[in-house]
């Protein structure tokens, strides 16, 4: 081979390397065209991996374990089974807030012996004068407990946060200007007036929302010399879900709260966490997913709006590394998100979408609830009472509730009204 042939061959090799590199660049352009949704077959929650049918409730308990393991190893990562000795400290109590209608408490839950981070602060409002312990809503928040209510005595979070100068988060820290910025998402007084307690925790207390596994609760569970979760171990959503269960541990010790009637609720990424928490922890008596979208209530196989590939690319820390195998390859997932919803059966579940929130695939969220219904029915519950996509602002409710609200990606008073109605319906007539 002469020198110029060699050069020519080398240039071909480098050209092909370059082009394969180019094609390896992620291309996650979202599809918003219903006609371009790929044909797909959903895995059947009522058929075991070995092809056997689930025939009765006892079979379902086994199938449930199988599905839970698949979500653990392939999607969210395994939650550590080791339990910790949690210590709590009451930071503040005020028995007369909201004009005397409620008691407000802040409780710090330490995850380690040292009394240093990681710890989480639970902000709790309980109605005064209920003649019974109050049913409660528990949800994580995005920017600190002090953002959900303007009261200046709520502890200002000093934990890392995603930058958002509009919300008074400067250099990743909350400033006084961030007090109350999330009030529209948390109608505290309405919740109290309806007889419910409300508990919230800043998600970053459990694990800051960044691709870093040295902070948050992950390191507590590392083996010697471990630096990050292994391929099938939990990501950030898994940690948030775990934190919700730890908050539930505490709420079940609060006399004024009915520990058997706690609804776990979350919006968007925190809705994904609420679903995963509710799927794993049967003590949550109700689960509410608000606009949770991809990796939440929406079916992955529809690949509409945000996709598995796109979410793993943009938020590599949310799921376990095994989930990346399904980037642009959703059909090989052994589960889909309707099975996550089915894990919540027979407990009441509410899934909500918003009309302009195409990124979260409203139809995929609805279909997921519809496809979870056979499991509810097997367990003697109604599931979602329709297979027809309802019109905007017309909730449908059985043991599964669904609405598509007019407007965009958000959780607002309309959403909360439906959740309060749904809780009234189930916590009075179907109390455990």
Specify the DSSP class assigned to residue 94.
Answer: E
Note whether 293 binds ligand GCU by CB under 6 A. Answer: yes
Q: Is 317 a catalytic residue?
A: no
How far is it, in rounded angstroms, from Cα 213 to Cα 227? 7
User: 143 or 284, CB closer to ligand GCU?
Assistant: 143
Note whether 290 binds ligand GCU by CB under 6 A. Answer: no
Note whether 311 binds ligand GCU by CB under 6 A. Answer: yes
User: 257 or 320, CB closer to ligand GCU?
Assistant: 320
Identify which of 309, 369, 359, 300 has the alpha carbon closest to the alpha carbon of residue 335: 300
Q: Binder to ligand GCU among 233, 254, 306, 357 (CB under 6 A)?
A: 306
> Site mask, ligand GCU, residues 242-271, x = CB under 6 A?
--------------------------xx--
Catalytic one of 268, 292, 300, 353? 268
How far is it, in rounded angstroms, from Cα 333 to Cα 418? 33
Note whether 361 binds ligand GCU by CB under 6 A. Answer: no
Cβ burial 152-191 (10 Å sphere, 16+ → b, else e): eebeebebbbeeeeebbbeeebbeeebbbbbeebbbbbeb
Catalytic one of 73, 172, 245, 409? 409
Residue 359 Cβ vs ligand GCU, minimum distance, rounded to whole Å: 6
Note whether 341 binds ligand GCU by CB under 6 A. Answer: no
Q: Could you give the residue ranges of the DSSP H alpha helices within 134-229?
A: 188-193, 203-206
Tell the residue number behind the tokens 């949770």, with chain if given: 292
User: 126 or 239, CB closer to ligand GCU?
Assistant: 239
Identify which of 204, 183, 195, 347 has the alpha carbon closest to the alpha carbon of residue 264: 347
Identify which of 319, 317, 311, 316 has the alpha carbon closest to the alpha carbon of residue 293: 311
Structure tokens at 311: 């979410």
User: 26 or 385, CB closer to ligand GCU?
Assistant: 26
Per CB under 6 A, the segment of 24-32, 40-48, 306-314, 342-350 that binds ligand GCU is 306-314
Residues near ligand GCU (CB under 6 A) are 268-269, 293-294, 306, 311, 314, 359
Q: Catalytic site residues? A: 268, 409
């Amino acid at each position: 081979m002469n020198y110029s042939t060699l050069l020519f061959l080398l240039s071909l090799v480098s050209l092909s390397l370059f082009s394969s590199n180019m094609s390896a660049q992620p291309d996650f352009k979202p599809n918003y065209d219903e006609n371009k949704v790929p044909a797909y077959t959903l895995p059947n929650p009522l058929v075991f991996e070995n092809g056997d049918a689930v025939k009765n409730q006892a079979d379902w308990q086994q199938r449930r374990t199988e599905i839970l393991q698949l979500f653990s190893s392939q999607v969210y990562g395994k939650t550590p089974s080791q339990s910790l000795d949690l210590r709590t400290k009451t930071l503040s109590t005020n028995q007369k807030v909201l004009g005397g209608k409620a008691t407000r408490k802040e409780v710090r839950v330490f995850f380690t012996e040292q009394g240093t981070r990681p710890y989480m602060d639970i902000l709790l409002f309980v109605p005064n004068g209920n003649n019974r312990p109050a049913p409660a809503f528990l949800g994580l928040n995005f920017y600190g407990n002090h953002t959900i209510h303007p009261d200046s005595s709520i502890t200002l979070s000093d934990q890392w946060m995603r930058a958002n100068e509009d919300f008074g988060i400067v250099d990743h820290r909350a400033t006084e200007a961030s007090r109350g910025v999330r009030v529209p998402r948390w109608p505290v007084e309405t919740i109290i007036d309806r007889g419910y307690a409300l508990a919230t925790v800043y998600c970053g207390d459990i694990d800051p929302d960044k691709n870093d596994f040295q902070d948050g609760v992950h390191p507590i569970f590392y083996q010697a010399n471990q630096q990050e979760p292994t391929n099938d171990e939990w990501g950030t959503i898994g940690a948030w879900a775990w934190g919700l269960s730890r908050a539930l541990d505490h709420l079940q010790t609060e006399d004024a709260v009915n520990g058997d009637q706690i609804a776990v609720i979350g919006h968007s990424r925190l809705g994904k966490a609420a679903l995963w928490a509710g799927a794993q922890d049967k003590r949550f008596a109700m689960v509410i997913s608000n606009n949770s979208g991809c990796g939440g209530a929406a079916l992955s196989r529809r690949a509409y709006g945000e996709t598995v590939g796109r979410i793993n690319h943009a938020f590599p820390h949310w799921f376990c590394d095994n989930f990346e195998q399904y980037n642009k390859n959703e059909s090989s997932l052994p589960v889909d998100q309707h099975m996550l919803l089915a894990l919540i059966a027979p407990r009441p579940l509410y899934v909500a979408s918003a009309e302009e929130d195409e990124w979260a695939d409203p139809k995929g969220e609805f279909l997921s609830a519809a496809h979870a219904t056979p499991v509810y029915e097997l367990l003697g519950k109604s599931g979602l009472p329709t297979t027809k996509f309802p019109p905007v602002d017309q909730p449908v409710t059985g043991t599964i509730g669904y609405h598509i609200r007019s407007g965009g990606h958000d959780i607002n008073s309309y959403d909360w009204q439906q959740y309060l109605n749904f809780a009234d319906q189930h916590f009075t007539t179907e109390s455990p």
